[in-house]
Amino acid sequence: MALGFSVHATDEIEPGLAAIRNLGRLNGQALACAQKDTAAWIRVLMLTHAPKTRSYGEAYEAGTQEAFAAHTGGAACPDSGTSAARLEEVTQRLRAVLPAAKPVSN
């Protein structure tokens, strides 16, 4: 059974927090399914897009723990095509709601 979660804001949660929580869910899935390259890319996305605040860190951690627990509890790992499609969808949503800060030139 694959994790079914929306990549759009739900439960009246702020869109940026929802996107980060979904990124965390993908991270938990990647960690539980030993998808090291995916987990590494998710980390880059988190560091690039998420504001460095407690609420964003907690949303990411909660999503990670939720998905990891589901997979260690018996949820099947998705195939690589499904994982790639979910990652792309979450990446696009993340970029839309939390664009990366542009570097400041001197």
| Angle, in degrees to the nearest 10, between helices 80-97 and 36-49 | 0
pLDDT at position 88 over 90 = yes
Does this model's pTM top 0.85? My answer is: no
If pLDDT is split at 50, 70 and 90, which confidence band does 101 have? low
The CB density around residue 10, as the number of other CB atoms within 10 Å, is 12
56 contact partners, CB below 8 Å, separation of at least 6: 16, 17, 20, 50
